[in-house]
C-alpha cells in the first residue's frame, strides 16, 4: 500500500479515462482494475482528487447506461468499492449517488411486488432482478459507511424511502442476498451518527426479521450472509440506540443469539457475530437479559474465547462483566469456560475493562472457595492457568 501511494493519482486518472472511453467488452476489465485498486490502496485512496478521478466517470457510465444496462451489477459493485475506499473524499458525490441508489432499490422492489401479485396470471415478464436490489443496497451501505456523520443528512432527505426499502428487503422471502444486503444497510445506518434515529419507527420489523433469520431452519449455508448481518446489525443498534429503546427487544434477540451459540456445526463467523451481539446487549441492557444468563453463559464464553483482540471483543467482554454484576450466581456453572475466555486475551487496551475482568476472576475465586477453585484450576490445565496468571499485566 505504501508502494502504490506515489503513483495513485496518475493511476486513478488513467483508469478513470479507461472507464469513460471503453466499450462494454473492455469496460469489465477496467471496472475490475478500479475495484482492485480501491480494495488495495488503503488510506492513500482517501483523497478528494482521487475520488473525483474515479467516481465521476463511473457515475457518468451509470447515467448514460441507465438502470437496465447489462453490466449494472458489476458497475455498482465497483462504485461501492471506490466509495468505501475514498471515505469522506466521496462527499461531493454522496447525495446524488444515495438518491439514485435508493430510487433503484425501491423501483426494483416495486417490480418484485407487482410480479408477486400477478403470480404469472398475465403472462407478463416484469423483469425483476434481485441483483439490482442487492447492488443498490450495497451502495447505500457503502455510502453510509464511507461518509460517516454525513450519512445523517442523506437518510434524512428521504427517511420514508429508506425505511420502505429496508422493510421490503429484510422480509424478502426468496433472496438471501437481498436480506443480507438489507441487514448490512441497517447496521451502517444505525452506526452513522445521527442517522440511526430514522430506523426507530421500523425497529420492531427489523427485530422480527432478524429473529426469523436466526431460527434453526434458517441457519443454513445458503443464508449465512443474512444470518451474519442480522447478528451484526442488531449489535450495532444496541450500541447506537438508547438502552430504553432496545430493552423491549433485548430478551428475544438474546434468546436468538444464544440459540445460535448452542447449535452444533455452526460456521465460526456466525458464532463470533452472535457472541459479539449478545455481549453488546449485555453491556447496554443487562437487566433485560439476565434471566437467561445461566442457560447461555457456557456456549457464550466458548465463543468469546475465539474472538480476536479488538473493539468488538472489548464490547463483548464488557457485556460479560455487566451480566456477572447483574446476576453473579447465574454464571456459577460457567466459570470454567469463562476463565478460558478471559485467558484468550493477548492484551486488553482498556484499563477499566482489564480491572473489571480481574475483579470477576477474584469474585468467583472467592465464591467457589479454595477447594473448588483448586479443582477448577486443575481442570483448566496448566496452559490456561499460566495465561490467567499473566493476565494481570496484559493491559494497555
State whether residue 348 is helix, strand or coil. Answer: strand
- Distance CA(150)–CA(80), nearest Å, equals 16
Residue 122 has pLDDT above 70, yes or no: no
- Distance CA(285)–CA(249), nearest Å, equals 10
DSSP 267: -
- In the Cβ-directed half-sphere of 348, how many Cα atoms lie within 13 Å? 26
- Distance CA(155)–CA(330), nearest Å, equals 42
- Using CB atoms within 10 Å of the CB of residue 371, give its burial: 0 to 12 exposed, 13 to 18 middle, 19+ buried: exposed
List residues bridging with 383 in a β-sheet.
none
Residue 233, all three cell numbers: 446489525
Per-residue pLDDT, 120: 66
What is the residue-averaged pLDDT of the chain? Answer: 94
pLDDT in tens, 244-253: 999 999 999 9
Helix, strand, coil percentages (3-state) for the chain, rounded to 5, are: 80, 0, 15
Across the range 129-147, mean pLDDT stands at: 95
pLDDT in tens, 338-365: 999 999 999 999 999 999 999 999 999 9
Neighbours of 272 (CB within 10 A): 23
**368 band by pLDDT with thresholds 50, 70 and 90:** very high
pLDDT in tens, 143-192: 999 999 999 999 999 999 999 999 999 999 999 999 999 999 999 999 99
Per-residue pLDDT, 21: 94
DSSP 308: P
CA 98 vs CA 139, 163, 177, 226: distances in Å? 8, 14, 20, 22
Amino acid at each position: 500500500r505504501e508502494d502504490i501511494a506515489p503513483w495513485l493519482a496518475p493511476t486513478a486518472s488513467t483508469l478513470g479515462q479507461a472507464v469513460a472511453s471503453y466499450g462494454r467488452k473492455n469496460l469489465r476489465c477496467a471496472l475490475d482494475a478500479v475495484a482492485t485498486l480501491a480494495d488495495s490502496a488503503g488510506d492513500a485512496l482517501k483523497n478528494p482528487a482521487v475520488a473525483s478521478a474515479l467516481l465521476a466517470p463511473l457515475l457518468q457510465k451509470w447515467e448514460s447506461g441507465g438502470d437496465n444496462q447489462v453490466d449494472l451489477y458489476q458497475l455498482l459493485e465497483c462504485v461501492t468499492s471506490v466509495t468505501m475506499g475514498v471515505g469522506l473524499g466521496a462527499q461531493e458525490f454522496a447525495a446524488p449517488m444515495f438518491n439514485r441508489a435508493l430510487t433503484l432499490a425501491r423501483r426494483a422492489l416495486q417490480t418484485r411486488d407487482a410480479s408477486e401479485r400477478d403470480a404469472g396470471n398475465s403472462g407478463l415478464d416484469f423483469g425483476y432482478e434481485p441483483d439490482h436490489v442487492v447492488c443498490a443496497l450495497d451502495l447505500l451501505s457503502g455510502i453510509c459507511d464511507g461518509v460517516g456523520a454525513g450519512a445523517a443528512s442523506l437518510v434524512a432527505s428521504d427517511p420514508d424511502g429508506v425505511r420502505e426499502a429496508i422493510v421490503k428487503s429484510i422480509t424478502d422471502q426468496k433472496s438471501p442476498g437481498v436480506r443480507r444486503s438489507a441487514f448490512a444497510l441497517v447496521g451502517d445506518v444505525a452506526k452513522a451518527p445521527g442517522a440511526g434515529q430514522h430506523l426507530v419507527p421500523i425497529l420492531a420489523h427489523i427485530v422480527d426479521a432478524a429473529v426469523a433469520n436466526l431460527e434453526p431452519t434458517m441457519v443454513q449455508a445458503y443464508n449465512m450472509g443474512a444470518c451474519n448481518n442480522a447478528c451484526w446489525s442488531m449489535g450495532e443498534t444496541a450500541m447506537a440506540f438508547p438502552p430504553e429503546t432496545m430493552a423491549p427487544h433485548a430478551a428475544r434477540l438474546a434468546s436468538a443469539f444464544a440459540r445460535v451459540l448452542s447449535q452444533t456445526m455452526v460456521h465460526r463467523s456466525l458464532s463470533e457475530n452472535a457472541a459479539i451481539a449478545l455481549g453488546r446487549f449485555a453491556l447496554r441492557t443487562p437487566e433485560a437479559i439476565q434471566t437467561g444468563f445461566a442457560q447461555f453463559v457456557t456456549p457464550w464464553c466458548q465463543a468469546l474465547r475465539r474472538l480476536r483482540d479488538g473493539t468488538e471483543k472489548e464490547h463483548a467482554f464488557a457485556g460479560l462483566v455487566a451480566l456477572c454484576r447483574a446476576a453473579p450466581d447465574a454464571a456459577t456453572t460457567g466459570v470454567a469456560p469463562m476463565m478460558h475466555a478471559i485467558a484468550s486475551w493477548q492484551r486488553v487496551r482498556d484499563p477499566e475493562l482489564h480491572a473489571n475482568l480481574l475483579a470477576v476472576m477474584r469474585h468467583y475465586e472467592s465464591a467457589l472457595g479454595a477447594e473448588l477453585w483448586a479443582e477448577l484450576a486443575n481442570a483448566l490445565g496448566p496452559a490456561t492457568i499460566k495465561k490467567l496468571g499473566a493476565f494481570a499485566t496484559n493491559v494497555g
